[in-house]
A and B are shown apart, each in its own frame.
Chain A
Amino acid sequence: MADLYIFLILLALGFTIGTTVEKRHFRSLIRREAEHANLLLIASKLPTPDLKISESHLVGGNAVISVDYFKRFVAGLRNLVGGRMNAYESLVDRARREALLRLKDEAEKLGADMVFNIKIETASISQSANNALGSIEVYAYGTAVKTARR
Chain B
Amino acid sequence: MQLSNLEIVPGQRIVKHLGLVQGSTVRAKHAGKDFLAGIKNIFGGELMAYTELLQESREEAMKRMVEQAEAVGANAVVNIRFSTSSVTMGAAELFAYGTAVVLEERG
Contacts and interface: CB of A to CB of B under 8 A. Distances in A.
A77 interface: no
Interface residues of A, number: 46
A51 B11 CA distance: 10
A64 B51 contact: yes
Contact of B51 (A25, A63, A142): A63
A41 interface: no
Interface of B: 2-11, 37-38, 40-47, 50-51, 54-55, 58, 80-86, 89, 92
A93 interface: no
B47 A135 contact: yes
Nearest to A64: B50
A126 interface: yes
A75 to B, nearest CB: 12
A71 B42 contact: no
